[in-house]
Structure 1
Amino acid sequence: MSAILDVQNLSISFGGLHAVDDFHITIEKGQLYGLIGPNGAGKTTVFNLLTGVYKPDEGIIRLDGQDITGRSTIEVNMAGVARTFQNIRLFKNLSVLDNVKVGLHNHFRYSTLEGMLRLPRYHKVEKEMNERAMELLKVFDLDGQADFLASNLPYGKQRELEIARALATQPKLLLLDEPAAGMNPNETQDLMKTIRFVRDNFDVSILLIEHDMKLVSGICEKLTVLNFGRVLAQGDTSEVLNNPEVITAYLGE
């Protein structure tokens, strides 16, 4: 296996505070990887560095061998990184179908003039986008709600729609930010199946931040634990979760 993500010595400070300090991680192609740690440990900051929201003070980020350090969010997305958010960020007043189509625009294009004048290429591309979006919605059993407003979906389905939209960008690496947040146990079980299915059928590696230890232990093959912006432990999931330092810092036992 070769690394889809290789991060070395990643650091960033805000007002003299080291939010992330010497962070390192290697994720192999096809891996399902977890990033855990107490609140304020720096997990979301790491996601923001990986997706170009923040520019690191030090360090290097390689995606599939390509240096993407310091690139813009759009450039990082086009290189193959997509993410979801802890607080769902759908276009609530757009349809379910149109939310997915937003993610397709990097790969299906027509000019402004073609769109304004509804030229043949516009209709051809729109047809292709609709077909691809419906294929993605079928994966999540959302094709029957394609015309619904995104805001009218149940919470768990909104989470799945956000994942479908991220997949529309054809990522190599999918970052999931607390995907189980706000879910009941049944929804979490469904989510675990969905995440496994996505990894197995979309040729994508997955890195997720999560506080639900049942989900983490159930699907993550490897873990990195952050504490105060630094890597506390790294390795196989069961080994890391049984690490005394991790139990003290994170599980509070």
Structure 2
Amino acid sequence: MAMLEVKNLGISFGGLRAVDGFEMQIEKGQLYGLIGPNGAGKTTVFNMLTGVYKPDDGSIVLDGKDITGKKTIDINKAGIARTFQNIRLFKDQSVLDNVKVGLHNHHTYSTLTGILRLPKYFKVEAEMNKKAMELLKVFDLEDEADYLASNLPYGKQRKLEIARALATEPKLLLLDEPAAGMNPNETKELMDTIRFVRDEFDMTILLIEHDMKLVSGICEKLTVLNFGQVLASGNTSDVLNNPQVIKAYLGE
């Protein structure tokens, strides 16, 4: 059974068909890329997968469960987490607290328990602190746990965003242009991080990316979008050498 199966997905905005007949199948443990020129509809697909947009047509099935049109919070609890092209950390909170935000899906206490500081509050907070520090250690961020997120270098902010997403214990991790704004050395380190996350967490990963060196270096399969429709899909090397794909990126 596929980890993610998308069939005939479509959405329109004001009469404009932004995505039409989109299909994708990702197996458990795959590193999969979604690429295409600017404005092709890639982020719109991500927004439908995560419940930001409700599709007009089609279905989204995650690990055998139909999540089509569900709310963002319910989709996250079902097992999809994402990062964003423009980093969205809580920059005035500590590195540790940013990761703890993601842990609240699985570590909870009531508002009253928190206000009154009942024993369960301290128990759950201790559990979250421990788990958050374990995640930060994976990304070599444990020494910066008390830093404000805004004080981290750019590459480490990217790592923190991935760590926070992993804190929700997803089955599928969506990375939206994770290499955006990175220099070559940071991009190489990011590639190693993504591979590590896939292997260490037994994670299935879908990413949008414009850096073709990163895409060709880590993605096993690709789907190419152009004007909201699938242009090509298959093994990475085959897709990147497809004349239609080259034309879509480079023009006539």
What residue number does 2:176 align with? 177
Partner of 1:201: 200
Letter in 2 for 1:148: Y
Q: Does 1:24 align with 2:39?
A: no
Task: Name the CA distance, whole Å, in 2 between partners of 1:149 and 1:162.
Answer: 13
- SS of 1:3's equivalent? coil
Counterpart residue number, 2:107: 108
Q: Secondary structure at the match of 2:22?
A: strand
Deviations 1:96-133 (A, max 9, x none): 00000000001001111111111111000000000000
Residue 204 of structure 1: CA displacement? 1.4
1:250 CA displacement:
1.6
Q: Distance in 2 between matches of 1:214 and 1:113?
A: 51
What is residue 149 of structure 2 aligned with on the other side?
150
Partner of residue 15, structure 1: 14
Q: Which residue of 1 aligns with 2:35?
A: 36
* Aligned alpha-carbon RMSD (Å): 0.7
Note the C-alpha offset of 1:203. Answer: 1.9
Aligned pairs, number: 252
Who is 1:3 aligned against?
2
Question: 1:8-157 maps to which residues of 2 (within 5 A)?
Answer: 8-157=7-156
Cα shift readout 1:178-229 (whole Å, capped 9, x = no counterpart):
0000000000000000000000011210000000000000000000000000
Unaligned runs of 5+ in 1: none
Amino acid at match of 2:204: S
Match of 1:239 in 2: 238
CA distance in 1 between counterparts of 2:249 and 2:207 reads: 16
Residue 233 of structure 2 corresponds to residue 226 of structure 1: no
> Aligned letter for 2:242?
N
Give 1:251 shift. Answer: 3.9
* Corresponding letter in the other structure for 1:142: L
TM-score (norm 2): 0.99
Deviation at 1:252, TM superposition (A): 4.1
CA distance in 2, matches of 1:251, 1:164: 35
Q: Render the CA deviation track for 1:220-240: whole Å, top value 9, x for unaligned.
A: 000000000000000000000
SS in structure 2 at match of 1:87: coil
C-alpha distance in 1 between matches for 2:16 and 2:75: 26
Q: TM-score, normalised by structure 1?
A: 0.99
Aligned residue for 2:3, secondary structure, equals strand
The whole-number CA distance in structure 1 between the counterparts of 2:171 and 2:51 is 16
Structure 2 unaligned segments of length 5 or more: list them.
none
What secondary structure, in the 3-state scheme, does the structure 1 residue paired with 2:51 have?
coil
